[in-house]
Chain A
Amino acid sequence: NAGVTQTPKFRVLKTGQSMTLLCAQDMNHEYMYWYRQDPGMGLRLIHYSVGEGTTAKGEVPDGYNVSRLKKQNFLLGLESAAPSQTSVYFCASSYELRAGGHTDTQYFGPGTRLTVL
């Protein structure tokens, strides 16, 4: 099993450019998440999804959009990149313990280092 994979691993953008980060998981997890990690800030949740076709805002959603068209994939888009979006981005997934939303351990991808000049 590959687990959670992220594409690309590194990217450099110029201010105003757009890009999409792809996250894929092969564990049949219901829930998927996008985090950003900045020095001294820990991990902050950008957006998440509790199932195919659903998305919700996290702690720091501004400037990002997401889509979950297939259960195994979760895309994070930057429409107009800004230097403040320079960060390491992590995707994670978890299974649903039972109906009602209990979630458990999150499994993380290897991260994408994004630099916006």
Chain B
Amino acid sequence: AQTVTQSQPEMSVQEAETVTLSCTYDTSESNYYLFWYKQPPSRQMILVIRQEAYKQQNATENRFSVNFQKAAKSFSLKISDSQLGDTAMYFCATGGGSNYKLTFGKGTLLTVNP
């Protein structure tokens, strides 16, 4: 079984500042993936960043980076130089291994203020 916990239902940040969204997970899989998806007001689910659990190096995508702590089962998302367009719901998810499915957390609503 897999579980994903996002302990921050809502967060806010000023434009151009840095914010970190928390995610902890639990899985019995030995070879799994971790994801952050963004859902803006348009409702579209957009992949932000992906991490393969067997890789120690933290994934980065432009202003987005993760802090992957495998032993602690923690997968936080850091957004640098926040922009108004980053305002969205952010979902952490895990999947892979023998599991065809992704398990999602309940989401963190991030608001970027001008």
Contacts and interface: CB of A to CB of B under 8 A. Distances in A.
Interface of A: 31, 33, 40-45, 48, 50, 56, 58, 88, 90, 92, 100-108, 110-111
B78 interface: no
A29 to B, nearest CB: 12
Given A103-B96, A104-B96, A111 B107 contact: no
B62 to A, nearest CB: 17
A112 B77 CA distance: 28
Contact of A105 (B42, B50, B101): B50
Contact of B33 (A44, A104, A108): A104
Contacts, number: 57
Interface string B32-74: 0101010000111111001000000000000000000000000
Given A101-B98, A110-B43, 14 more contacts: A33-B102, A44-B104, A45-B101, A48-B100, A58-B101, A102-B31, A102-B97, A103-B96, A103-B100, A104-B33, A104-B50, A110-B42, A111-B43, A111-B44
Contacts of A107: 47
Interface residues of B, number: 24
A42 B107 contact: yes
A63 to B, nearest CB: 19
Tell me which of B43, B50, B95, B99 has the highest count of chain A C-beta atoms within 10 A of its own C-beta. Answer: B43
Contact of B101 (A40, A48, A88, A111): A48
Contacts of A102: 31, 96-97
B100 A42 contact: no
Contact of B106 (A33, A42, A100): A42
A76 to B, nearest CB: 16
Contacts of A104: 33, 50, 96
Tell me which of A33, A42, A110 has the highest count of chain B C-beta atoms within 10 A of its own C-beta. Answer: A42
